[in-house]
Structure formats: structure tokens, C-alpha cells
Amino acid sequence: LFSAVEMAPRDPILGLNEQFNADSNPKKVNLGVGVYYDDNGKLPLLQCVQAAEQQMMEKPQARGYLPIDGIAAYDAAVQALVFGAGSEPVKSKRVATVQALGGTGGLKIGADFLKKVSPDAKVLISDPSWENHRALFTQAGFTVESYPYYNAARRGIDFDGMLTALAAAPAGTIVVLHACCHNPTGYDITPAQWDQVVTAIKANKLVPFLDMAYQGFGQGIAEDGAVIGKFLASGLDFFVSTSFSKSFSLYGERVGALSVLCQNADEAARVLSQLKIMIRTNYSNPPTHGGQVVATVLNTPQLRAQWEQELAEMRQRIKLMRQAMVDKLKAAGVSRDMSFIAEQVGMFSYSGLTKPQMERLRSEFGVYGTDTGRMCVAALNSKNIDYVCQAIAKVL
């Protein structure tokens, strides 16, 4: 049965973790996967998460099956976060939200559902995009193409190219957009450019699918989520996948969601019933713990405030690391202008380093980033940044 099964290539992001773990270099630094580490190089366990878990331990609950669509209080908290508490679509019950296994799970439920309602549509992702977007939508049965996004020569966004591609896309095309903190480039379009994107999508009857995995890591929770308001105002149906992996530092709990904005409550109820089939036939229903933690934090004002504070601290530390990297690369003798690192937002910097340079960083220095030159600046700290910058200076 398996004699002809081929060895699949290593996952371009998570596969690096395996290589990193096997590396015996004592100075190794993992800038591969998008994970935030604190200044001591430790994965943070947020205070708000600990407080929620304490509350949960004080009233231990048996673990029955959750509803297929997850914890109701969790889904409500996601809707409030994404669309605004008491906002019109929430009040009129025209959002179908399900708890999902991380942001990836939200994308996959949405992709499987879209394959049913729109089997012949094509999917457009940004060029470049998160490595898993293409694979995930391809696995769901779609043909995946891309729209221009990053212009390497200009070190910025090819916005004209993006708009031209959207204008040329056939009606019904599914367009995957990064709501904030574009992964991998770190370049976001401006609010005014978002307006143009929304107009183009609406004019061409495209289907927007917003991937919001880094809300709060760019400018702030509200600022990073502002694009949702623009799509709401357009009157379009759209999809939003949410991840709390990074913003709650709950990577291993797989806490995310999918929200589908519909025209009315009746439509949302029917969409929800279909999303539940996608879930039931894949993993039946979601796990309890992570969803309960996030729901407790988001629905308890004092814990929510604490979360916002802790998220702001993560965001600010990343910004400090970006500036420090620019300064230290210069000090290490890099003559080319690296100031773009401080202009990019979110967890990643698209460094402009080539695949051979990234390979050399890995093999000679134990500094891991993806082959595309993406580096997770959220894993830099005051102890490893000098070493990383000197290593980069050497390969440059």
C-alpha cells in the first residue's frame, strides 16, 4: 500500500523547528517560526492567562463534549473583539462564528465551506504570503494563484499591481488578505489603500477572506482590527479567521475562530449549520481548555485590561528589537540601508537575504529564519541580538 508513497518536503516553517531542535550549536537562535519570546528568551505565560486558569482551578469543571461550534461565551467574545461589542452585525445576529483549532483551523473550516458553496472559484493569495495559505487552500481543492504584493526592488508594496490583479479577477474569486502585520513581509497597506482594496473587491464581486492572526502586534488591537469596519461598511459578505496563538501566547492550545459575515440572521444560521458539518466531519468539536481561558479573559473586564497591557508590552518590545537591529547591523559593519526593518510591523522582517545567505546563517551560525529571508524579530532579545546581527553582517 505504501511502497509508492513519496517523502513529502519538510514544512517550510514548522520543519525548521525540527532542524533547530536537532542543532547542537550552543549559540543557536530560532527566528524561523512566528513565536514571541520575552527578553530572557522564554515563551511567556501571560499573567491574564494564569489568573484565568487560577479561576478555573478554583471551580473545576468536568469535561463534557463542547458544542460543535465551541463555547458560546467564547464565540460571543470573538465576535465582540472582531466586529465590536454591541455592533450592528453582532446585534442583528448576522455573524456565524465557530471556535476553531487556531487561525489555521479557522482558515481550513472556511476553505472547506467555500469549496462547497463556490466549487469553481479560484483563490488569490498575496505574493508572497504565509507559506501555509497556498497549501491549505490547495488541499481544500482550490486552484491557488497570487496577486502582486511585495516589490523587492523597491522594498515596499506593489499596490498598483495588487489593485490591477484584483480588478482583473473573475467575479467570485476568493481573495485572502492579511488584516494586519503581513506575514511574511511585515508591510501593511495604509487605511486609504484598504479603502481602495475594498472598493475593488466590491466592484468585482470578489469574496474577501481576512486572516487576522496578529491583531494587536501592529499598532494596537483597535487599529489592527480597523479593516473589519471597512469591509462591514461595504456591505459585502466576508470571512475572518482569528488566532489567539500569538496574542495570548497560547500556541499549543490551538485557540482560534472563524467568523462569516452574512446578510441577515437567517443566512447566518444556515451558514453556521454548514460550518458545523465541516467541524463535525473533521474533529467533531473543539477542545475546552484554551477556549475557556480566552473567554474568561475577554469576558472579565479586569483580565481583559491586563491582557491589553501585556499585549502592548509584547508589541513595544518587538518595536525596540526592530530599532536595535537596525542600529546593531550598522555597528556590525553592514553598509546597506537596513532601516526598513524598523518600518515593518508585526512579528516578521522580510530581510532581503537570499536563500543561500539564510542557509549559511543556519549552518555556520545556528541562526534560523525561513529560506525566503523571513526572520521573526519577536524572538530577538537583548542577549542574542548582537550575535544575530554579527552573523547577518558576515553573510551579507
Q: Is 13 in the site for ligand LMR (CB under 6 A)?
A: yes
Residue type, 225: G
By rule CB under 6 A, what count of residues binds ligand LMR?
A: 7
Q: Is 33 in the site for ligand LMR (CB under 6 A)?
A: yes
Residues with active-site annotation: 130, 211, 246
Q: What is the CA radius of gyration of the chain?
A: 21
Q: Is 181 in the site for ligand LMR (CB under 6 A)?
A: no
In terms of CB distance, is 83 or 350 closer to ligand LMR?
A: 350
CB of 110 vs ligand LMR, minimal distance in Å: 16
Binding mask 74-113 for ligand LMR (x = CB under 6 A): ----------------------------------------
CB of 391 vs ligand LMR, minimal distance in Å: 20
Under DSSP, is residue 381 helix (H, G, I), strand (E, B) or coil?
coil
- Residue closest to 239 by CA, chosen among 254, 222, 258: 258
Q: Is 183 in the site for ligand LMR (CB under 6 A)?
A: yes
In terms of CB distance, is 125 or 271 closer to ligand LMR?
A: 125
Q: Cβ atoms within 10 A of the Cβ of 49, count?
A: 24
Cα separations in angstroms, 76 against 119, 137, 154, 192, 257:
30, 27, 42, 30, 11
Residue whose C-beta lies closest to ligand LMR: 34
Q: Which helix (H) or strand (E) holds 208?
A: strand 207-212
Rounded Cα gap, residues 61 and 18, in angstroms: 36
Q: Is 217 in the site for ligand LMR (CB under 6 A)?
A: no
Longest dimension (CA), the chain: 62
Q: Is 130 in the site for ligand LMR (CB under 6 A)?
A: yes
Instruction: Quickly tell me which residue has 451558514 as its cell.
Output: 271
Q: Is 242 in the site for ligand LMR (CB under 6 A)?
A: no
Contacts of 362 (CB under 8 A, 6+ apart): 19, 23, 368, 369
In terms of CB distance, is 13 or 166 closer to ligand LMR?
A: 13
Query: Which positions touch ligand LMR (CB under 6 A)?
Result: 13, 33-34, 130, 132, 183, 213
